[in-house]
Structure 1
């Protein structure tokens, strides 16, 4: 498991990487929400009211920051997050 502080323009986020059998589970958490890899169950995150965003095809924290948003909860959309923006852009809105 790897835990890393990730400095962004509007604050510090916390990255968590946990190597599963075939691909890493990656999460970067900011103050108001998080960006996660394809392991994220959007229905569960949405039903819990989380500000959550999904990106796919990522293996590193840098990949998460550069990847484009392919899913977002209603709470994330209400915060101004849009499909297609980068993980970094979404995280900046979560401070």
Structure 2
């Protein structure tokens, strides 16, 4: 059985209008966990469970790629479309259909 290889996380700074965020791409086996977090909440690829984050009152949105089968880079996540959003994120103004970058501006 092949073990999953988790490489070192190197954050990428994302500049937003009034704050910044940290983006991460974590290769796990043949997939990538891609997410961007602010001090308040986060957006992430399809592997994220926004309902679980809601239980901890973390505003979160799950993104869907605009092209291709999955999100593999920070740039793809920022241009992706909000597919699912939890209640704390709705309270901050995030809506289904927004881009990742738009959603982050609310966090």
Could you say whether these structures have the same fold, taking a TM-score greater than 0.5 normalized by the shorter chain as the test? yes
Give distance in 1, aligned partners of 2:49 and 2:30: 18
SS in 1 for 2:89: helix
Q: Which has the higher contact order (CA 8 A, sep 6+)?
A: 1
Give distance in 2, aligned partners of 1:35 and 1:47: 16
1:28-47 CA distances to partner (integer Å, 9 max, x unpaired)?
Answer: 01221111111111221121
Give distance in 2, aligned partners of 1:9 and 1:53: 19
Structure 2 counterpart of 1:18: 26
Greater C-alpha Rg: 2
Runs (5+) with no aligned partner, structure 1: none
Runs (5+) with no aligned partner, structure 2: 1-8, 65-69
- Superposition CA RMSD, Å: 1.1
The count of residues paired between Structure 1 and Structure 2 equals: 94
* TM, length-normalised to structure 2: 0.82
* TM, length-normalised to structure 1: 0.91
